[in-house]
Amino acid sequence: MPKHLFLALFILLLNACNPPANRQDRIDLKVDSLLALMTLEEKIGQLSLYTSDWDVTGPTMREGYKEEIRKGRVGAIFNAFTARYTRELQRLAVEETRLKIPLLFGYDVVHGHRTIFPIPLGQAASWDLKAIEEADRIAAEEAAAEGLHWTFAPMVDIARDPRWGRMAEGSGEDPYLGSRIAEARVRGFQGQGLGQLNSVMACVKHFAAYGAAQAGRDYHSVDMSERMFREVYLPPYAAAVHAGAATVMTSFNDYDGVPATASKYLLTEVLRNELKFEGFVVSDYTSVMELIPHGVASDTASAAALALQAGLDMDMQAGFYQSALPQLVASGKISKELIDQSVRRILRKKFELGLFDDPYRYSDTIRERTTIMKPEYLDKAREVARKSIVLLKNESVLPLSKNLGTLAVIGPLADARREMIGSWSAAGDWTKSVTLLEGVRAAVSPATKVLYAKGSNVNDDSTSYFQQALRIARQSDAIILAVGESASLSGEAASRSSLDLPGVQQQLVDLIQQTGKPVVVVLMSGRPLTINAMAQRVPAILETWFLGTQAGHAIADVLFGDYNPSGKLPVTFPRSVGQVPIYYSMKNTGRPLDVNSKYTSKYLDVDNSPLYPFGYGLSYTTFAYSDPVLSTASLRAGDTLAVRVNLTNTGSREGVEVVQLYVRDLVGSVTRPVMELKGFQRVSLKPGERKEVTFFLTYKDLEFCRIDGSFGTEPGQYLVFVGGDSRDVRQAAFDLL
Q: Which residues of the shown chain bind ligand NOJ in the complex (CB under 6 A)?
A: 108, 152, 205, 284-285, 492
Q: How many helices (H) and strands (E) does the chain have?
A: 22, 29
Query: What are the beta bridge partners of residue 60?
Result: 53
* Shorter beta-carbon distance to ligand NOJ: residue 152 or 229: 152
Least spacing, CB of residue 59 vs ligand NOJ, in Å: 13
d(CA 586, CA 604): 19
- Best CA proximity match to 111, nearest among 58, 166, 159: 166
The yes-or-no answer on residue 284 being catalytic is yes
Rounded distance between C-alpha atoms, residue 396 and residue 402, angstroms: 15
The 8-class DSSP code of residue 281 comes to E
Cβ closest to ligand NOJ, residue 77 vs residue 483: 77
Cβ-based nearer residue to ligand NOJ, 340 or 492: 492
Quick count: other Cβ atoms within 10 Å of Cβ 596?
A: 5
Comparison of 181 and 416: residue with beta carbon closer to ligand NOJ: 181
Give least dist CB 372 to ligand NOJ, A: 21
CA-CA-CA-CA dihedral for 89, 95, 98, 99, to nearest 10: 80
Q: Which residue is nearest to ligand NOJ (CB)?
A: 152
Considering the complex, state which of residue 171 and residue 566 has its C-beta at the smaller distance from ligand NOJ: 171
Q: What is the three-class DSSP state of 706?
A: coil
| Distance of closest approach, residue 287 Cβ to ligand NOJ, in angstroms | 9
For the residues of 483-535, what is the DSSP string, one character each? EE--GGGSSTT---S--SPPTTHHHHHHHHHTT-S-EEEEEE-SS----HHHH
Neighbours of 258 (CB within 10 A): 18
Q: Which is nearer to ligand NOJ, 149 or 678 (CB)?
A: 149
User: Which residue type is seen at 556?
Assistant: A
Minimum Å distance from CB 250 to ligand NOJ? 10
Q: Is residue 718 helix, strand or coil? A: strand
Phi, psi of 150 (to 5 degrees): -155, 130
Q: What length is written for the chain?
A: 737
Least distance in angstroms from the C-beta of 76 to ligand NOJ: 12
Select 32 or 284, whichever has its Cβ closest to ligand NOJ: 284
β-pair partners for 429: none
Closest C-alpha among 191, 301, 232 to residue 677: 232
Q: How far is the CB of 3 from ligand NOJ (least distance, A)?
A: 39
DSSP symbols for 209-278: TGGG-GGG-TT--B---HHHIIIIIHHHHHHHHHTT-SEEEE-SSEETTEEGGG-HIIIIIIIIIIT---
Nearest distance from C-beta of residue 299 to ligand NOJ, angstroms: 23
In angstroms, give the least distance from the CB of 178 to ligand NOJ: 16
The angle formed by the CA atoms of residues 729, 395 and 498, to the nearest 5 degrees, is 75
Task: State which residue, 77 or 663, has the beta carbon closest to ligand NOJ.
Answer: 77
Are the CB atoms for 114 and 427 separated by under 8 Å? Answer: yes
Q: Other C-beta atoms within 10 Å of 687: how many?
A: 13
108 vs 254, beta carbon nearer ligand NOJ: 108
For residue 353, give the nearest of 244, 202, 193 by alpha carbon.
193
> H/E element holding 329?
helix 320-330
In whole angstroms, how close is the CB of 492 to ligand NOJ at the nearest point? 5
| CB within 8 Å of 437: residues ≥ 6 apart | 409, 414, 415, 450, 452, 552
Query: Shortest approach of ligand NOJ to residue 152 CB, angstroms?
Result: 3
We find the least distance from the C-beta atom of residue 496 to ligand NOJ, in angstroms, to be: 18
| Nearest C-alpha neighbor of 380 from the set 30, 638, 10, 133 | 133
* Residue whose CB is less far from ligand NOJ, 50 or 612: 50
CA 721 to CA 675: how far, in whole Å? 8
Query: Which residue lies nearer to ligand NOJ by CB, 146 or 284?
Result: 284
The nearer residue to ligand NOJ, 152 or 620, going by C-beta atoms, is 152
User: Between 288 and 434, whose beta carbon lies closer to ligand NOJ?
Assistant: 288
Q: At its nearest, how many Å lie between ligand NOJ and the CB of residue 155?
A: 6
Exposure string of 488-511, with b = 16+ CB inside 10 Å and e = fewer, is: bbbbbebbbeebebbbbbbebbeb
Q: Can you tell me the distance from the alpha carbon of 653 to that of 289, in angstroms, rounded to the nearest whole number?
A: 57
Q: How far is the CB of 284 from ligand NOJ (least distance, A)?
A: 5
Secondary element (H or E) of residue 33 = helix 23-37
Q: Which three-class secondary structure string do you get for 55-118?
A: ECCEEECCHHHHHHHHCCCCCEEECCCCHHHHHHHHHHHHHHCCCCCCCEEEECCCCCCCCCCC
Q: Which entry of 32, 174, 284, 364 is annotated as an active-site residue? A: 284
* CA neighbours closer than 13 Å in the CB half-sphere of residue 101: 31
Q: Name the pairing type of β-strands 53-55 and 104-107.
A: unpaired
From the number of C-beta atoms within 10 Å of its C-beta (0-12, 13-18, 19+), residue 64 rates as exposed
Estimate to the nearest angstrom the gap between the alpha carbon of 540 and the chain centroid. Answer: 28
Q: What residues act catalytically?
A: 284
